[in-house]
Amino acid sequence: PESFLSVRDLKVRFSTEDGIVKAVDGLSFDVERGKTLGIVGESGSGKSVTNLTILGLHNPRTTTIEGEIVLDGQELVTAAEKDLERLRGNKMAMIFQDPLTALSPYYTVGRQLSEPFMKHTGASKKEARDRAVQMLEKVGIPQPKTRFDDYPHQFSGGMRQRAMIAMALMCDPDLLIADEPTTALDVTVQAQILDLLKDLQQEFGSAIIFITHDLGVIANMADDLLVMYAGRAVERGSTKEVLGRPSHPYTWGLLSSMPRLDGDINEELTPIPGSPPSLLNPPTGCPFHPRCAYKDQVAGTLCTDSRPPLAPGRAAACHLTAEQKQTIFIDKIQPR
């Protein structure tokens, strides 16, 4: 299958007062046209940084980027700012967790949808207005012609989220990056927004990168899954494979710390012990080793000394053998 977005050995480093933060440390993945890639991981795992890097939204003075990001044949790491700006206007768009980071309180929703569109496409005011009204209607805003002239504060939280999706769709993006797009919403509105995104993907054929810490949401949204930890991918595969037969201790931990949809509501959830590592001084070897309950099953000091590679395709970056993973999964993880 043709890979629409290809990321290879991406490294993103920030210079801070305390030293160099390795926010993303050798990440590779692909997204196909019309498909959704879910990226999961705790905060600080590098998911948001990766996506801001794809969009070219880092401060070049404090950020070093290495590796390759190729979107539909175009290399983005070395692209000039004006090319990135053009791509952000008509090839890729972002939906944030908080619509107020994308919508200004000072201008009407309609103006914020139509002005960038005029700028990027050379459309007339009337054409831009028509398109904005059409997009507001598509995302389910009632009376879009009237609502066009409302300010963001006149919208409910769910409607602002819809307006931001409409804004992202104005330019008919080929790549849509959604960063925790429903986290701030109540469960009913969240389900509506997720359904909306799926419908729009069908209609527009966009590739979507969906970033979340919620495996329940990802199960329902993503075709493929990338599990990130400490700026690296630790497990990858189709969502069905990864959630059906996870094979990395960190993924096991994520699964045991989430409520099952069919589960007893009183079921006890086990959070992963410990906290995510400092990216100023990442652990040696496997970055998960300080928190891993299974490292004693690996021979010698492999886990603390040697970084487990992530093979291409369906894979987990862990020194346990396939047999050990299978046994642990069947004995300890599956029956919960």
Which residues contact Mg ion by CB under 5 A?
48
Angle between the N-to-C axes of helices 187-204 and 157-169, in degrees from 0 to 180, rounded to the nearest 10: 10
Least distance CB 66 / Mg ion (angstroms): 21
Q: How far, CA to CA in Å, does 171 sit from each of 72, 108, 123, 316?
A: 16, 19, 11, 37
Nearer CB in complex with ligand SF4: 88/248: 248
DSSP letters, 67-117, are EEEEETTEE-TT--HHHHHHHHHHTEEEE-SSGGGTS-TTS-HHHHHHHHH
- Residue 232 partner contact from Mg ion, ligand SF4, none using kind-dependent CB cut-offs of 5 to 8 Å: none
Across the strands, what pairs with 3? 32
- Residue 294 partner contact from ligand SF4, Mg ion, none using kind-dependent CB cut-offs of 5 to 8 Å: ligand SF4
- Residue 29 partner contact from ligand SF4, Mg ion, none using kind-dependent CB cut-offs of 5 to 8 Å: none
Least distance CB 103 / ligand SF4 (angstroms): 41
State the CB neighbour count (10 A cutoff) for residue 85: 12
Across the strands, what pairs with 233? 228
Number of residues that bind ligand SF4 (CB under 6 A): 13
Q: Is 249 a binder of ligand SF4 (CB under 6 A)?
A: yes
Nearer CB in complex with Mg ion: 48/161: 48
Q: Where does 122-232 have alpha helices with state H?
A: 125-138, 144-147, 157-169, 187-204, 215-221
Q: Is 298 a binder of ligand SF4 (CB under 6 A)?
A: yes
Nearer CB in complex with ligand SF4: 169/320: 320
- Residue 99 partner contact from ligand SF4, Mg ion, none using kind-dependent CB cut-offs of 5 to 8 Å: none
Q: Dihedral (C-alpha) 96, 102, 105, 111: value to the nearest 10 degrees?
A: -130
Least distance CB 153 / ligand SF4 (angstroms): 47
Across the strands, what pairs with 70? 6, 75
Q: Which residues contact 149 (CB under 8 A, 6 or more apart)?
A: 108, 110
Q: Out of 286, 310, 328, 333, which residue is the one contacting ligand SF4 (CB under 6 A)? A: 286
Q: Is 320 a binder of ligand SF4 (CB under 6 A)?
A: yes
Nearer CB in complex with ligand SF4: 281/301: 301
Q: Is 295 a binder of ligand SF4 (CB under 6 A)?
A: yes
- Residue 48 partner contact from Mg ion, ligand SF4, none using kind-dependent CB cut-offs of 5 to 8 Å: Mg ion
Q: Out of 84, 318, 328, 333, which residue is the one contacting ligand SF4 (CB under 6 A)? A: 318
Nearer CB in complex with Mg ion: 48/182: 48
State the CB neighbour count (10 A cutoff) for residue 150: 16
Q: Is 277 a binder of ligand SF4 (CB under 6 A)?
A: no
Nearer CB in complex with Mg ion: 48/190: 48
Range 142-161, binding ligand SF4 (CB under 6 A): none
Distance CA 74, CA 66 (A): 16
State the CB neighbour count (10 A cutoff) for residue 303: 25
Query: Pairing mode, if any, of strands 3-16 and 19-32?
Result: antiparallel
**Which residues contact ligand SF4 by CB under 6 A?**
249, 286, 288-289, 292, 294-295, 298, 303, 308, 318-320
